[in-house]
Amino acid sequence: MMTKMGHRAFMQKVCQWGNTFFIGSIATFLATPQPGQAHGVVIQHQPVAAQTIVAQYEAGKPMANAQVTVYAPNGDSPWLQGTTDQDGRFLFTPDPAQPGDWQVRVRQAGHGGIITIPVQAGVKANHAIAASTPTSEDSVTQGPTDFPGTGYTGLQKGVMAASVVWGMVGTASFFARRKA
Amino acid sequence: MYRKLLMGAGAIALAVSLNSGCADNSPTTKTDSPIATGQSTEALPAEAVGTLEIRANGEDFVRQGFTSKDGWKIEFDHVYATLAAVTAAQADPPYEPEKGKELQAQTQVSLADPQTIDLKTAGAETVRVGEVKAPAGRYNALAWKMVKPTDGPAKGYPLLLQGKATKDSQTVKFAIKIDQELAFSCGEFVGDERKGNLKPGEKADLEATFHFDHLFGDAETAATDDLNQGALGFAPLAAIATDGQLDADLATLKQKLSPADYQKLIGILPSLGHVGEGHCKETAIQAGA
């Protein structure tokens, strides 16, 4: 009897802890700023390997408002399209998950050219470089970013997942106590 | 009960771990062609070979006619070009002729014989020059020579323009015979679509493009545009016609045109060859051929 009562008391404690963690995890989740929330603002920065293209005619005149098409390595379909600015410049960021020879085609009024930009795996440059003169000095090596695009670190993700799991365990234990 | 709980917790943990692994950080690798320059396609398995077709294009300027920068409406009857040593290459690094570096072909294929083609061929936007079996890969360079044919309607002239030009009440029938041999080396085709990506068992094409607006100018382009500033136009040619006829090779043109106009004409010839809108390097005139 004492053993049975002790088990019940233990289960009640487990349920209380579980529910506390479950509610706590929900509260933590709701309290964490969410991307796209009406009043929340999240501003982050991340270095990327931006490439600046400068397109000119041979006489030095900028190819202003020229059509630009970017091709990923071995791609026949455009990866990105746009136009140059008044100075013939165009900025884009290659997908670092697609290393290899990226190509940029610039066309205007029946004239055009294509340039090849080698992009190495795992190498990111933190400032723009001229496409015609890429050098290793313009690049810095960085490790992969945790959960890219979500705004949460791995630790935050782990705590949230553990809280949800523990909360569900507690809830299930609560209903299991009634049947016992 | 506990077993169910453990299974549920495990499933959730698995879902969380799968979700966190959704971002694809796996890199792709560049595959270099193992085929050495000059290797015969006969030594390759059939599944590694495709068909590469070479075509030539005189653009709408040749097919439909156009108005020169000085107001002459030009219509062509024939534009004969004789292409030889037509060579397509997989260049690595990609060949950029304007930078003056040598074309480094990892793989290349060539058409066997010179071909005289008429860029004015009725009903065709581009004209077939020839085709060749070639190792699969991206052909990002094209080179060709323009030589004097030994027979046919353009015998002796790598480039022959025949047609008429009209302005107001004047009409000039012309046969402009360019007996200067030329050679062009070009990088990747630049146009509405990409060309030259040959897949095993399939067909791809490359295009030698000729820009005759560089010679005559284009009334639809601003007079101040570099194209028109550098073009000869047709007026200097009309001025040396006799009884509405101009039949002239380069020796005749050198004799009748002003030195400035003749030098302008000679200076334009290296800019006629393109790959779509991509520029080429001319080497025959530079070499004194």
Please give the residue range of the domain that contains residue B202. Answer: 46-282
Nearest CA-CA distance, residue A63 and chain B, Å: 12
Interface test mutation site (partner B, options A56, A79, A98, A116, max chain B beta carbons within 10 A): A116
CA torsion sign for A20, A26, A30, A33 is positive
CATH class (in words) of the domain with range A51-139: mainly beta
Q: Do A121 and B194 touch (CB under 8 A)?
A: no
pLDDT-derived band of residue B118, with 50, 70 and 90 as boundaries?
very high
The mean pLDDT of A117-145, rounded to a whole number, is 42
The mean pLDDT of A118-145, rounded to a whole number, is 40
Q: How many beta carbons lie within 10 A of that of residue B233, not counting itself?
A: 19
Task: Answer for the pair B134, B49: CB distance below 8 angstroms, yes or no.
Answer: yes
Per-residue pLDDT, A37: 57
Q: Do B29 and A99 touch (CB under 8 A)?
A: yes
Q: Considering only A53-67, A100-114, B8-22, B272-286, which range has the smallest mean pLDDT? A: B8-22
CA A140/CA A125 separation, integer angstroms: 5
Comparing alpha-carbon positions, the chain B residue that sits nearest to A154 is: B20
pLDDT exceeds cutoff 50 at A65? yes
The mean pLDDT of B33-43, rounded to a whole number, is 46
Tokens of B176: 């402009």
Q: Which of B20, B30, B190 sits opposite A73 (nearest CB)?
A: B30
> Which helix (H) or strand (E) is B201 found in, with range?
none
Residues A88-119: pLDDT tens digits? 999 999 998 999 999 999 999 888 999 999 98
Task: Answer for the pair B267, B232: CB distance below 8 angstroms, yes or no.
Answer: no
Residues B119-131: pLDDT tens digits? 999 777 899 999 9
Give CA separation, A119 vs A65, A70, A124, B158, in Å: 26, 13, 9, 42
Task: Answer for the pair B87, B142: CB distance below 8 angstroms, yes or no.
Answer: yes
Q: List all residues 6 or more positions away from B52 whose beta carbon is below 8 Å from its beta carbon.
A: B88, B109, B131, B132, B133, B134, B139, B196, B198, B203, B204, B205, B206
What are the structural domain ranges in chain A?
Answer: 8-22+149-180, 51-139
B22 domain residue, yes or no = no
Tokens of A18: 């579980």
Task: Answer for the pair B147, B289: CB distance below 8 angstroms, yes or no.
Answer: no
pLDDT exceeds cutoff 60 at A33? no
Interface test mutation site (partner B, options A14, A71, A79, A111, max chain B beta carbons within 10 A): A111
**Residue B42 C-alpha from the chain's centroid:** 28
Pick B71 or A128 by higher pLDDT.
B71
B13 domain residue, yes or no = no
Q: Which runs of E-coded beta strand occur in chain B? A: 49-57, 66-67, 73-91, 105-110, 115-118, 127-135, 137-138, 141-146, 159-167, 170-178, 182-186, 197-198, 203-210, 245-249, 273-275, 278-282
pLDDT exceeds cutoff 60 at B248? yes
Per-residue pLDDT, A154: 58
CA torsion sign for B249, B144, B231, B277 is positive
Q: Do A165 and B5 touch (CB under 8 A)?
A: no
Nearest CA-CA distance, residue B121 and chain A, Å: 22
B164 domain residue, yes or no = yes
pLDDT-derived band of residue A144, with 50, 70 and 90 as boundaries?
very low
Q: List all residues 6 or more positions away from A142 whose beta carbon is below 8 Å from its beta carbon.
A: A47, A124
How high does pLDDT run on average in chain A? 70
The percentage of residues in chain A with a pLDDT greater than 70, rounded to a whole number, is 57
| Count: domains in chain B | 1
Q: Do B211 and A59 touch (CB under 8 A)?
A: no
Nearest CA-CA distance, residue A64 and chain B, Å: 14
Among A87, A51, A80, A52, residue whose Cα is nearest residue A66: A87
CB of B104 within 8 Å of a chain A CB? The answer is no
CB of A61 within 8 Å of a chain B CB? The answer is yes
pLDDT-derived band of residue A26, with 50, 70 and 90 as boundaries?
low
B29 domain residue, yes or no = no
Q: Which of B30, B221, B225 sits opposite A100 (nearest CB)?
A: B30
pLDDT exceeds cutoff 70 at B74? yes
**In chain A, which among 96-135 make CB contacts under 8 A with chain B?**
97-101, 103, 105, 107, 109-116, 121-122
pLDDT exceeds cutoff 80 at B21? no
Q: Do A97 and B187 touch (CB under 8 A)?
A: no
Give the alpha-carbon dihedral of B262, B268, B273, B274, to 10 degrees: -170
Per-residue pLDDT, A171: 79
Q: Classify the complex by whether its ipTM is higher than 0.85, answering yes or no.
A: no
pLDDT-derived band of residue B171, with 50, 70 and 90 as boundaries?
very high
Give CA separation, A139 vs A121, A165, B30, B119, B286, in Å: 12, 42, 20, 48, 39
C-alpha atoms less than 13 angstroms from C-alpha of A20 in its C-beta half-sphere? 6
CB of A58 within 8 Å of a chain B CB? The answer is yes
Per-residue pLDDT, A23: 53
Show residues of chain B in contact with A107, CB under 8 Å.
190, 277
B146 domain residue, yes or no = yes
Per-residue pLDDT, A136: 27
3-state SS record for B22-53: CCCCCCCCCCCCCCCCCCCHHHCCHHHEEEEE
How high does pLDDT run on average in chain B? 87
Among A24, A53, A25, residue whose Cα is nearest residue A117: A53
CA B14/CA B28 separation, integer angstroms: 27
Comparing alpha-carbon positions, the chain B residue that sits nearest to A160 is: B16
Among B230, B234, B266, residue whose Cα is nearest residue B250: B266
CA A138/CA A128 separation, integer angstroms: 8
